[in-house]
């Protein structure tokens, strides 16, 4: 799966979680998550962020993506 496909998947997963997702730029969801978490994420370089702050943004996104991939795998196993 390439970056384009991953971003599309990210958008689909986060939309299912109730977030507003820009179909043309699903990766932008990270800015909405950052705002909710009080993390000063900006476009471009974000070297000023702590690991904790970065985790507050990436954790919910990646965690939800992993949960969905597990669910999809379980569905595939049920079909066999």
Q: What are φ and ψ of residue 38, in 5° steps?
A: 75, 30
Ranges of the chain whose pLDDT falls below 70: none
Q: What is the largest CA-CA distance in the chain?
A: 48
The predicted pLDDT at position 48 comes to: 96
For the chain, the structural domain boundaries read 3-79
The predicted pLDDT at position 23 comes to: 86
| pLDDT tens string 36-56 | 999 999 999 999 999 999 999
Take residue 11 and report the two structure tokens written for it. 């958008």
Residue 71 to residue 58: CA distance in whole angstroms: 20
Q: What are φ and ψ of residue 16, in 5° steps?
A: -65, -25
The predicted pLDDT at position 80 comes to: 77
Q: What are φ and ψ of residue 40, in 5° steps?
A: -80, 60
The predicted pLDDT at position 1 comes to: 78
């Amino acid at each position: 799966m390439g970056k384009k496909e991953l971003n599309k998947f990210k958008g689909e997963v986060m939309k299912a979680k109730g977030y507003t997702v820009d179909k043309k730029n699903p990766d932008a969801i990270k800015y909405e998550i950052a705002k909710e978490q009080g993390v000063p994420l900006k476009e471009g370089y974000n070297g000023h962020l702590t690991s904790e702050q970065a985790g507050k943004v990436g954790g919910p996104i990646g965690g939800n993506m992993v949960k969905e991939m597990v669910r999809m795998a379980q569905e595939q196993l049920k079909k066999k």
